[in-house]
Amino acid sequence: MSLIVRRSLARRTLGRRSLVAALALAVVGLALQDASAQAGRKKTEGCLVSLAEPKMVIKDRSSKKEIEFRVKQAASVLDKAGTVATKYGRKAQLTDLETNRPVIAYWLVDPENKDGKFANKVDQPDFMDDETGKPDADVLENAGCKVEP
């Protein structure tokens, strides 16, 4: 094999290795960035007291105190500046969520108000009893919601 052919093969191999290394670094960097963003995210479970954009109030299940969150309807699930809502595990609008029902809010420190909380995801799980078709009193009580007779 001639010297020119060997150099050409060596350059190609080195180029491929560099490309693979760069892609691996990019993947690791994105994973670390997402992990650090999620590290600041917290979760509050409780009962939805009120919801009128831009404010949502949840009665915390453990402390029994009302906590206020800033919310803003997300344009899509990829919208990082908005609040993504789900109801029974399906995509929903904030206006679809019912008051006096269990809710889980995932939140960060509000970028607009360092003393406030911004809910970037709000989930209202299924609280209906499959057998009776009525709200499950145990689920409502556990979340701190008023149980209707």
Per-residue pLDDT of the chain (149 residues; tens, 9 = 90+): 666 766 666 666 655 565 445 445 444 444 444 444 455 889 999 999 999 999 999 999 999 999 999 999 998 878 888 999 999 999 999 999 999 999 999 999 999 999 999 999 999 999 998 899 889 999 999 999 988 76
Q: Which two tokens stand for residue 6?
A: 């060997």
Query: pTM for the full model?
Result: 0.70
Q: Where are the beta strands (DSSP E) in the chain?
A: 42-52, 55-60, 66-70, 84-87, 90-92, 102-109, 117-124
Backbone CA torsion sign across 41, 42, 43, 47: negative
Torsion angle of C-alpha atoms 23, 27, 32, 38, degrees rounded to 10: 150
d(CA 123, CA 47): 11
Q: Which of 34, 37, 32, 60 is nearest to 47 (CA)?
A: 60
Q: Which of 83, 144, 74, 137 is nearest to 110 (CA)?
A: 83
**SS3 state at 130:** coil
Quick check: 93 and 73 in contact, CB under 8 A? yes
Q: For the domain 44-143, what is the CATH code?
A: 2.40.50.140
Cα–Cα distances in Å, from 142 out to 27, 64, 115, 136? 41, 11, 28, 10
Residue ranges of the domains in the chain?
1-39, 44-143
